[in-house]
Amino acid sequence: MIRDISRLTKSKFDLIVVGGGINGAAIANLAAACGATVALLEKGDFAQGTSSKSTKLLHGGIRYLENFEFDLVHESLRERFIQWQSVPYLVKPLPFVIPVYKNDTRPLWMMKLGVWLYDLLSGKYRMGQHRFLQVSEISALAPGINLDGLIGGVGYTDAQMDDARLCLENVLMAYNRGAVTVNYLEVENFIKDNNQRTIGVKVRNSLSGQQMDVFGSKLIVTAGPWADELIQKDLPHPVDRLRPTKGVHIVYRGEISSSAFLLQSRQDKRVFFVIPFKGNSLIGTTDTDYHESPDHVRVDEADIQYLLQEAGRVFPNIDFDRSKIISTFAGLRPLVADKGDPSRISRKHVVESSSSGIYYVMGGKYTTYRAIAEDAIIKALPHLASKLPYSRQYVLYGSGGSNEELKILSQRFEVPLDLIKYLQSIYGSRFEDVLNITRGNSNLKQKICSCSPAIGAQVIYAREVEMAQTPEDIIERRLGLSYLDCPTGDCRRSIEAIFKSLP
C-alpha cells in the first residue's frame, strides 16, 4: 500500500470517505468492491481513534438484552459469526463467565434467562452453548475469585478480535480493490458549489503541511467522535448529534483466568470485563460523559481507581497493584445523542444526510461494522446496492496454509514453526510476504525484543506495505506491542533503528 497523495488530485472520485476507523475502512472496501472510485482520508493513522481503543470483542452484547434491544443483539450475533468465518486468524471464540452474588442487581434467574435468550437469538450463527455454572465450577475457572456471597453463575461464548488490525485489513483490501487510501491527511473543510452542495474537501498533509483540494460526487463522514466537529464545518447552524462517552481500559500483568469474566460493578451497577489478553488481562471499561475535544481524551486517575477497586472486589486474592499495570488506554464511544444513563444509550448506528449532501455515519458497534458499511452505501450510493457482495461472503484475506504447508515453509525459510504460526495469526495468508522480506537478510528473522515473537521483517512490512508512518504506528497498531510487558524497551529501540534505516 503506497501513500501516493498525487493520485488524490488526478480525478474526481465517486466517493470520498472521511475518517479511517473501522466504519470508514469498511465503507471504502465495500464501495471499491462494487467498482466505485474511492478516496479514504484519515487525519492520523488508520484506527487511531475509537477503533483501536475498544474492548476488542465482537459480541452480541448480552447486556443490551436488559434494554430489550433484541434486533441489535440479533444483528450483532450474525455479524460476529460472519467475521469469525471471514477472518478466523483475527477473530477467535472466547468463553465468558458471569458470576452472580447474593446482593447483585441482576439476579441469577435473570442471567440464566439472558444466556438462554442470547443463544436463541444466535440461531444458526451460534458460536458455543450456554451453561449454568455451580460455585465450584466458577471457582475452578478462576481460583482467586471471591466466594463470599457467590451463589452461581452462567457461561456463554463470544469472540475476541484485534481491532486495529481488522480495521487495517479493510484498508488494505480497499487499496487492493483500487481505492486511494491515505493516512495523516486531515480534512480541514468542505468545498461547496453555488447551491451549497458539497463537491469536495480541503485537506492538509499532517506530515508535510501541504494543502490540496480533493473532489468527489458523494461524501461519507465516518469521523466517529469527531463527527460534530465536521458537522460544524459543514452547516451554518449546526446542532450537536453526538453524546460521546469515555471508556478506559487497563492492561494488567498476568492472566487472571483463561475465561473472560463479565462482572457487575458495585459502585454504579454497570457491567465491566476482565478478559484474558495476550498473556495478560484486559480490565474495562468505564462509561462516563465526555465534553472536551476528542483529540484530548486521556485516562484519569479516577478511571484507574474505579477499575482496580471493582476488579479487586471480585478477585480479593490478587494484589491489584498500580505497578503491575502494563498500559492504559481511553476511547470515546461516538453515541448518538440521547438522555439518561450513558451505559444505557443505544449502540445502534444512524446514517444521516445533511442539507449540503454529506452522509454522516454515527453510533454503532465495532461488531456491526459490515452491516453499517452496507447501510451507508445503500443510502449514499443506491445505484451500488445491487453490486454489494452477499453478506455471508465478506472477503478479506484468508487464513492461508494448512499445518503441513506451514511445516514445509518453516524448513524452506529456516525459521521455527512457532514463528510461522505467530505470523499467520497476524497476517493470515499474507504471512509468506513477510517471510519473503527475510530472503537475503537473515538478520530480519531475528526477534526485535524478548517481550514478543515479533521479528525485524515485520517492521519493514509495516512501513512498506501497511503504510506505517511512525514507530508509534507500529508499536501501537501494527504489532500491538504496547499491550505487552516489556522490561527492557528493546522493541521500541529496535523499531526506531530499523525505521531510521529505511528510505
Ligand X SMILES: Cc1cc2nc3c(=O)[nH]c(=O)nc-3n(C[C@H](O)[C@H](O)[C@H](O)COP(=O)(O)OP(=O)(O)OC[C@H]3O[C@@H](n4cnc5c(N)ncnc54)[C@H](O)[C@@H]3O)c2cc1C
Contact 350, 337 (CB under 8 A): no
Contact 228, 241 (CB under 8 A): yes
Least distance in angstroms from the C-beta of 224 to ligand X: 2
Least distance in angstroms from the C-beta of 289 to ligand X: 13
d(CA 201, CA 212): 8
Cβ-based nearer residue to ligand X, 282 or 384: 282
**Site residues for ligand X per CB under 6 A:** 18-24, 41-44, 48-51, 53-57, 59, 186-187, 222-226, 230, 247, 285, 331-334, 364-367
Question: 3-state class of 189 per DSSP?
Answer: strand
Least distance in angstroms from the C-beta of 93 to ligand X: 15
From residue 219, how far is each of 15, 215, 223 by CA, in Å? Answer: 6, 9, 12
Cβ-based nearer residue to ligand X, 20 or 99: 20
Q: Please identify which residue in the block is written with the cell numbers 434491544.
A: 69
* β-pair type (271-277, 349-353): unpaired
Cβ-based nearer residue to ligand X, 24 or 200: 24
Least distance in angstroms from the C-beta of 128 to ligand X: 17
Cβ-based nearer residue to ligand X, 362 or 495: 362
Least distance in angstroms from the C-beta of 445 to ligand X: 33
Cβ-based nearer residue to ligand X, 203 or 455: 203
Least distance in angstroms from the C-beta of 462 to ligand X: 18
Least distance in angstroms from the C-beta of 363 to ligand X: 7
Contact 249, 284 (CB under 8 A): yes
Query: Which residues lie closer than 8 Å to 319 by C-beta, 6 or more apart?
Result: none
CA 308 to chain CA centroid, Å, is: 24
HEC letters along 309-368? HHHHHHCCCCCCCHHHEEEEEEEEECCECCCCCHHHCCCCEEEEECCCCEEEEEECCHHH
At 171, the amino acid letter reads V
Cβ-based nearer residue to ligand X, 151 or 396: 396
Torsion over CA: 421, 427, 428, 431 (sign)? negative
End-to-end CA distance of the chain: 16
Cβ-based nearer residue to ligand X, 14 or 228: 228
Least distance in angstroms from the C-beta of 247 to ligand X: 2
Cβ-based nearer residue to ligand X, 177 or 365: 365
Least distance in angstroms from the C-beta of 340 to ligand X: 18
CA 310 to chain CA centroid, Å, is: 25
Q: Please identify which residue in the block is written with the cell numbers 478516496.
A: 39
d(CA 107, CA 101): 8
User: What cell was used for 214?
Assistant: 480533493
Cβ-based nearer residue to ligand X, 14 or 158: 158
Cβ-based nearer residue to ligand X, 18 or 32: 18
Least distance in angstroms from the C-beta of 90 to ligand X: 13
d(CA 342, CA 452): 37
> Residue 96: enclosing H or E segment and its boundaries?
strand 91-101
